[in-house]
Amino acid sequence: MKTPDVTAALGDKKLQLAIYSATARLGERRRETITSDHEELRQYAHDIKKHTLDHLDFYLEQLERNVEARGGKVIWAKDGAEACAFIQNLARKRGVKVIVKSKSMTTEEIHLNEHLEEVGIEAVETDLGEYILQLGGEKPFHIIAPALHKTKEDVSDIFEKHLHSKRETSPEGLTKIARVALREKFLEAGMGITGANFLVADSGAIVLVENEGNARLSSSAPKIHVAVSGIEKVIPRAQDLGVFLKLLARSATGQPLSVYTSFLAGAKREGEPDGPEEFYLVLLDNGRTRLLADESKRQSLYCIRCGACLNHCPVYRKIGGYNYPWVYSGPIGKILTPQFMGIEHDPWLPFASSLCGACGEVCPVKIEIPRILLELRSDKVANDPDRAELWSFKVWAWVMRHPKFYARLAPLALSAAPPVGPVKKWLSQRDLPVPPAKSFRDLWKERSK
Ligand code: SF4
């Protein structure tokens, strides 16, 4: 893919204001809820994730045994095609025509909605932000706030056009319109599809964290519940949730805890008044085991999708979520995409960072994003070196080690001569500061007289 042209996003004042104010608000709320035990919790979460991913085969097998002991069924999907095919076949067999879905980046990753639409099954997003985007034919702009870039007026336009509702611009009124439309879908749906925030190996439970209650309804109202999750979401014990639930809510939205936390273990059992009659957990690989094999970048899989790195990234906060090549945007997208898709697909991506380090500072599971970005840059150079750039740096390094040459060449380099070759390319997107009238060496000589 070509480097995206971000000029449209940068020149869109309304978009700039929307991204800036929403990410600033989320960042501010996060700071307000940080407590004195935050660093300790981050380290604890990092260690749990490290331990789990270092022993992933053990915990996945334990999870499978416990899900099946509670009447659920685990489906191992090598890739998106296998996961989509399983869901399509199950829906066909059970005569399901309508599916309600709660927000899930994993199902975005495998293009589940598009797949179901192609085979004539209606999949309705029930998270308010996702619903707005689905009606408007757009993709999520942010991991946790998918419609972050939409104003109340934009949402009203979409509802007027697709739901034929009256003009309404209050958040409460707009939510009510969506709620009425979605209730119908919940009643019609034969299957509910959710993601999973955590998979608990020692109990076989899946944990869903949300603020709207739609995931709870999607997983309990229809007769069939399918949870689609990456294999990396497993944690060893229910007691580890104390760490992750706090960190996730604080880092994502600055809440002490999210409004709804559901623990779902298997299908409805005899005597239980509600819940699905069938429960399936689709465990998706889709390239994750390849990442797992790379010890130094394995921690990319620790991500709990809180979105804090996006909210603090100076690049994401300018270009927004639609200028990244894959579903995962911001700093986490910059390290996941090249590892999932191959560095050759978007070799520019790890370079689209100022390496300011804010992402690594706020990440609740302490993923060293800046270090991984540097490693990916080095992988790109090893795979496909830019010869002109390499030679320029070799010459530069030689000159820097030879002060006499440096003293002679520096004034020439700063002369008015137009830049050429890699320097010209480098300067095409950067401003070169105006050089001072006198160099440090000149000043030193003058003052030493
Ligand atoms: S990389 Fe860290 S900060 Fe970014 S979304 Fe994942 S857990 Fe959150």
Q: How far apart are CA 54 and CA 65, in angstroms?
A: 20
Mind listing the pLDDT tens digit for each residue in 294-303?
A: 999 999 999 9
The residue contributing the CA closest to ligand 1 atom 8 is 306
Sign of the dihedral through C-alpha 168, 173, 174, 177: negative
359 CB-near residues (< 8 Å, 6+ apart): 309, 312, 313, 330, 331, 332, 369, 370
Q: How far is CA 346 from the centre of its chain?
A: 17
**Structural domains of the chain, with CATH:** 35-286 (3.40.50.10420), 306-383 (no CATH), 391-448 (no CATH)
Separation of 60 CA from ligand 1 center, angstroms?
22
List C-alpha distances in Å: 222 to 190, 307, 432.
5, 30, 60
Q: What angle do CA 314, 144, 368 make, to 5 degrees?
A: 50
Q: Which two tokens stand for residue 344?
A: 């050759």
pLDDT for the residue 417: 65
Around ligand 1, the residues with Cβ closer than 6 Å are 143, 251, 303-309, 332, 362-365, 367
Q: Which atom of ligand 1 is nearest to the CA of 304?
A: 7
Q: How far apart are CA 315 and CA 140, in angstroms?
A: 17
Choosing from 43, 306, 317, 324 the residue with most ligand 1 atoms within 8 A of its CB, the one to mutate for a pocket test is: 306
pLDDT for the residue 388: 82
The residue contributing the CA closest to ligand 1 atom 7 is 303
Q: How far apart are CA 53 and CA 337, in angstroms?
A: 19
Q: How many CB atoms lie within 10 A of CB 201?
A: 26
Choosing from 304, 339, 359 the residue with most ligand 1 atoms within 8 A of its CB, the one to mutate for a pocket test is: 304
pLDDT for the residue 22: 96
The SS3 assignment for 186 reads helix
Q: How far apart are CA 396 and CA 406, in angstroms?
A: 9
Q: Max Cα separation, the chain?
A: 96
Residue 414 has pLDDT above 70, yes or no: no
Mind listing the pLDDT tens digit for each residue in 119-166?
A: 999 999 999 999 999 999 999 999 999 999 999 999 999 999 999 999
Q: Which atom of ligand 1 is nearest to the CA of 308?
A: 3
List C-alpha distances in Å: 431 to 313, 423, 428, 438.
21, 12, 8, 20
List C-alpha distances in Å: 132 to 106, 138, 145, 175.
19, 9, 12, 10
Mind listing the pLDDT tens digit for each residue in 67-95?
A: 999 999 999 999 999 999 999 999 999 99
- Model pTM above 0.95: no
Separation of 271 CA from ligand 1 center, angstroms?
41
List C-alpha distances in Å: 71 to 14, 134, 189, 284.
50, 33, 22, 20
**Regarding predicted confidence, which is higher, 247 or 272?**
247
Residue 192 has pLDDT above 70, yes or no: yes
Q: Give me the percent of the chain exceeding a pLDDT of 90.
A: 84
Separation of 363 CA from ligand 1 center, angstroms?
5
Mean pLDDT of 225-235: 98
